Amino acid sequence: MVFKPSLLKSDTQLNQRSYYEASAARGPALPPLQGDTQADVLVVGAGFAGLSAALELAQRGLRVVALEADRICSGASGRNGGQAIVGFASGQGPFEQQLGREDARRAWDMSLQALDLIDQRIAQHSIDCDRVKGYLYVADSPGKAKALLADLEAQERDYGLRCEVATGAEVQRFIGSKRYHAAGYERLSGHLHPLKYGLGLARAAQGLGVTIHEHTPVRSLAQTSGGVVAHTAQGTVRASHAVVAGNCTLAEHGPGVLPQVHPRIMPVGTYIIGTAPLAPELCQRLIPNRAAVCDNNFVLDYFRFSADLRLLFGGRVSYTTMTPPRLQAVMQQRMAAIFPELASVPVEFVWGGFVDISMNRAPDFGRVGKNIYYLQGFSGHGVALTGLAGQLVAEAVAGQAGRFDVFARLKHRNFPGGPMLRTPVLALGMLWHRLRDALG
């Protein structure tokens, strides 16, 4: 299957039932680009990564223009699970194998700094986004429990991240479900309302002089003798540098925007339901510390409580461009398997869309030529890592690329199958992983 813009856009009707859109206040749409303009840096994409880069660049005194194909945080940044997590979806393996222990540790430490950066920005720019600390790793079979405990032990031994560990009946201290055989609780990671956070970043960037144009897909992006030029339907932007932060929605801009990196990204559909508000005493019984929760299956479940005590439950994924059939019913069944008390609770919201994954699940940051930088491949860890990525790319544009190049040195492979077959190949691979999860 060839990924066409019409296929990669989120299901409009589905996202009309987004809890985040219903509980955040968007302003009027920003006007599309009209005519020709110049900037020091062009940013393609106004999600977390693009807004973070724009904010950091503007703080360095650079003139920034950001072009968004849809609306601010209309992609994964505005509809994800809201979980801000230390580390990387890939684990430390690719970093240790490719970069060595010292730079693997540098990358890990930067993932800790990414969490601190969220809190710094919330405080500095007065962003009200329902921030909560606390994260719970869980395992739903004996085999998965053994793997989780080994991972947590290695994480503490090699990187100093300590978790409170529980097994058997002790797991009930952290989560009121009989499904789980082991759990690990840590206090650095946590969760937030992603759309409120993203809109706060946009306001902060605009306050520093960043110009954002919504509904402005980039048709082509090319390097020139003096920098870069981007063409849109009704104008152009000329700049010294460009930061491309569209991830899997680059197809919504056009095939002329970094076709070199498209084969390294796979769009994966992910979906969330939101219940009606629950009684405080029930919430206290189900997740006593209000942590974000995620299991360690390859096709995982993740969930948390919102500020108004709804359970926001994610876990159904799609490796095609189609919304899964019976989506709400299937998600409710998965939720009730964990919390039987919620089997009859009304579901008031269901939404979803595409996130980007890389082949090895490690972030993919780099350059094309001298003047174009790209940020992609967050693979489900983007709430925190996108902020770090924006900071690193701003440093690189300003001539200090040391931290950026830790990530740029990672090697990434194209997904197999080419543009026609990579989706069915991935779907077959995911069936195998689902079977492994089912077998424990």
103-149 pLDDT per residue, tens: 999 999 999 999 999 999 999 999 999 999 999 999 999 999 999 99
**C-alpha to C-alpha distance for 228 and 213, rounded to whole angstroms:** 18
Confidence (pLDDT) at 268: 84
Confidence (pLDDT) at 370: 92
**Sign of the Cα pseudo-torsion (71, 75, 76, 81, in order):** positive
CA distances from 99 to 96, 189, 395, 427 (A): 6, 25, 21, 30
Region 81-110: mean pLDDT is: 97
Q: Which two tokens stand for residue 115?
A: 């969490």
Confidence (pLDDT) at 286: 98
Q: In the predicted model, is pLDDT for residue 5 greater than 60?
A: no
pLDDT digits (tens, 9 = 90+) for 17-74: 899 999 999 999 999 999 999 999 999 999 999 999 999 999 999 999 999 999 999 9
Q: In the predicted model, is pLDDT for residue 14 greater than 80?
A: no
53 and 390 Cβ atoms separated by less than 8 Å: yes
* Cα angle 39-42-44, degrees, rounded to a multiple of 5: 155
Q: Residue 290, CB half-sphere, CA atoms under 13 Å: how many?
A: 15
Confidence (pLDDT) at 429: 46
Owner of token pair 């029930």: 282
Residues contacting residue 154 through CB under 8 Å, at least 6 positions apart: none
Confidence (pLDDT) at 22: 97
Confidence (pLDDT) at 396: 98
Helices (H), 263-321: 280-286
Q: Which of 128-132, 247-251, 283-287 has the lowest mean pLDDT?
A: 247-251
Q: Which two tokens stand for residue 243?
A: 């930061």
Q: Which two tokens stand for residue 51?
A: 């807004």
| Angle between helices 48-59 and 382-397 in degrees, nearest 10 | 40
Confidence tier at 415 by pLDDT (50, 70, 90): confident
Q: In the predicted model, is pLDDT for residue 308 greater than 90?
A: yes
Region 407-421: mean pLDDT is: 79
**C-alpha to C-alpha distance for 193 and 170, rounded to whole angstroms:** 30
* DSSP letters spanning 138-195: EESSHHHHHHHHHHHHHHHHHH----EEEEGGGGGGT-S-TT-SEEEEEEEEEE--HH
What are the two backbone dihedrals, phi and then psi, of residue 299, each rounded to the nearest 5 degrees? -100, 100
Q: In the predicted model, is pLDDT for residue 431 greater than 50?
A: no
**C-alpha to C-alpha distance for 440 and 358, rounded to whole angstroms:** 25
Where is 408: in which H helix or E strand? Answer: helix 402-408
**C-alpha to C-alpha distance for 18 and 131, rounded to whole angstroms:** 19
Q: Which two tokens stand for residue 9?
A: 């856009």
Confidence (pLDDT) at 252: 60
Confidence (pLDDT) at 321: 63
What are the two backbone dihedrals, phi and then psi, of residue 6, each rounded to the nearest 5 degrees? -65, -25
Q: Residue 121, CB half-sphere, CA atoms under 13 Å: how many?
A: 31
Region 247-261: mean pLDDT is: 76
Instruction: Measure CA 31 to chain center.
Output: 26
Looking at every residue in the chain, the average pLDDT score rounds to 90
* Cα angle 64-67-68, degrees, rounded to a multiple of 5: 140
Confidence (pLDDT) at 430: 46
pLDDT digits (tens, 9 = 90+) for 383-413: 999 999 999 999 999 999 999 999 999 999 9
Q: Which two tokens stand for residue 307?
A: 């500020």
Confidence (pLDDT) at 421: 44
- The partner residues of 365 in beta bridges, in order of sequence, read 375
206 and 56 Cβ atoms separated by less than 8 Å: no
Region 317-340: mean pLDDT is: 86
Confidence (pLDDT) at 433: 41
